[in-house]
Amino acid sequence: MKSKVFILYTGGTFGMKKTKNGLVPSSWEEIITYLPAIKNQTYFDFFSNIEFTFETLSTVVDSSDMNPEIWESIAKKIYAIYANYDGFIILHGTDTLAYSASALSFMFNHLNKPIVLTGAQLPIFHPRTDGIVNLSNAIYIAGYASFNITCIPEVCICFNDDVLRGNRSVKTSTNDFEGFSSPNYENLAHLEHDIHINNHILNPKTTKKLELLHLFSSRVVNVTIFPGYNAAPLIDLVNQKKLEGIVLKTYGSGNLPKTRQWRDLIIACEKNKTLVLATTQCPNGKIEIGQYASSEVLISENVVDGKDITSEAALTKLMWVIGNYSYEERHKILSNNIRGEMT
């Protein structure tokens, strides 16, 4: 069966080249010469009957420059051509790849096709690059029909023979080829000698029409508690109505110091309609508000239990919920598992 796959190059290490000023993104025309397997009349086209369309972001970026405006442009591009392709691949820098995967997962409601993000730890021009394997594996997931494998109707990350749910993924290494992991969830698939897909954990397909909700609020902060943390500046920002949301990365299972300022922060948030999404600093496990007395301050109508959500998914979900929903709707949507992002 023929598959049509759309590949969007956004920049990142995958296409970086050396210059006197350091590594900078190169053009797709330069990159494609290093990818013989996806040129016309070579392996994927001739043997597997896959038709590729390639496009480059209007301005390719180092992933450190990724932002909600670029997320919106990527999502709108996919939304506009959604009916024309079986799957989509986004070539992306690794530093913010997990943020982008999480953000895109929330933007698309009723997704029935794979959107696969991948990249590389070494540029495609490097003799030991991991980019070729990562892209080849991503093609199998996006072009599933040509290989008679299960469709993964999700935003996912394909990296080093692993397929991870995008909003369950974190970057765990700056140099290891296994640069990403999913600390609280199984891999969606393993791409080894044989391809094994964990069908039982995939988000279900739907007959509903694809929806795109693409707005993000910038009036949020990510706060990591540490011994001696002074919450007074944060309270001031809330009282000045400069914040609509806080991701609060607590100790352990939801614990905070037993000082008055944390009660003052929650009172300020209640008064000014600022939501707090409580998460844990631990990469594994989840928070359980109320388990310890030191988490009692978080029992509030303005505090949402983040359960086992990742830091990247927590921040992007909070930005997205505030951007698209009224204050009265936000707590419920943040609390619910809407894209498989938490348990």
* Residues marked as catalytic: 13
| Integer angstrom CA distances of residue 88 from 68, 82, 140, 227, 320 | 19, 9, 11, 44, 22
For residues 317 and 104, give the distance between their C-alpha atoms in angstroms, rounded to a whole number: 10
For residues 252 and 151, give the distance between their C-alpha atoms in angstroms, rounded to a whole number: 37
Print the SS3 string covering 205-249: CCCCCCEECCCCCCCEEEEECCCCCCCHHHHHHHHCCCCCEEEEE
Residue that the structure tokens 């530093």 belong to: 95
Strands 16-19 and 22-25: antiparallel
Angle, helices 68-81 vs 97-107, to 10°: value is 50
- Residue 233 CB neighbour total at 10 angstroms: 8
**Per-residue tokens: 119:** 């990249």
| Integer angstrom CA distances of residue 299 from 42, 61, 295, 303 | 60, 42, 8, 7
Q: What region does 105 belong to: left with phi over 0, alpha with psi -120 to 50, or beta? A: alpha
In this structure, the dihedral spanned by the alpha carbons of residues 127, 39, 152 and 116, taken in order and rounded to 10 degrees, is 50
For residues 203 and 143, give the distance between their C-alpha atoms in angstroms, rounded to a whole number: 18
Is 122 in contact with 13 (CB distance < 8 Å)?
A: yes
Is 318 in contact with 247 (CB distance < 8 Å)?
A: yes
